[in-house]
Amino acid sequence: MPTPDKAAAVAELTDKFRSSNAAVLTEYRGLTVAQLKQLRRSLGENSEYAVVKNTLTKIAANEAGINTLDDLFTGPTAVAFVTGDPVESAKGLRDFAKENPNLVIKGGVLDGKALSADEFKKLADLESREVLLAKLAGAMKGKQSQAAALFQALPSKFVRTAEALRAKKAEQGGAE
């Protein structure tokens, strides 16, 4: 029979899995408390980094409908729960792991889909959401300009063609 403390911990973790856009499992063996504090700061304000017990977290993930992480719950595990932009948190993890090789990204889940450690590194290589939206807006504006130029070209080409026909008829009419 689970103790009330464990049941409360599982319920809290289940809520975190359900309310997060992404959850990244890491191994933190060899990191100091100061380094963990630095890691929490580098993840951004929309992330929460928690050292967890494997068995309770595995139960919570399964209750939240995430069954793909079961193999990752080995060794000392911590989870980064991301509620905002997952790219920002992935960049924070990647950059921290470069400076501190003791941090190992095991994998995780993004919007219900399991991602490997390599896929999280690829996610970290993406530009931020705001930059991608700005590029999309720029591309759309460029396409609108091209469309406007095309629509403007059709009537002017028609007018030039009609004027050329009129001039040719006038020339032929005057030659007879």
The 10s digit of each residue's pLDDT in 88-105 is 888 888 888 888 888 888
The pLDDT-based confidence of 174 (bands split at 50, 70, 90) is: low
Please indicate, yes or no, whether the overall pTM of this predicted structure exceeds 0.75: no
Q: Give Cα separations from 70 to 8, 14, 109, 119, 156 (angstroms).
A: 21, 14, 12, 18, 66
As a whole number of angstroms, the distance between CA 89 and CA 21 comes to 11
Query: To the nearest whole number, what is the mean pLDDT of the chain?
Result: 83
Is CATH 3.50.50.60 the right assignment for the domain spanning 2-125?
no
Q: Give Cα separations from 129 to 62, 104, 146 (angstroms).
A: 30, 25, 26
Q: What is the mean pLDDT of residues 71-99?
A: 86
The pLDDT-based confidence of 176 (bands split at 50, 70, 90) is: low
Q: What is the mean pLDDT of residues 53-78?
A: 87
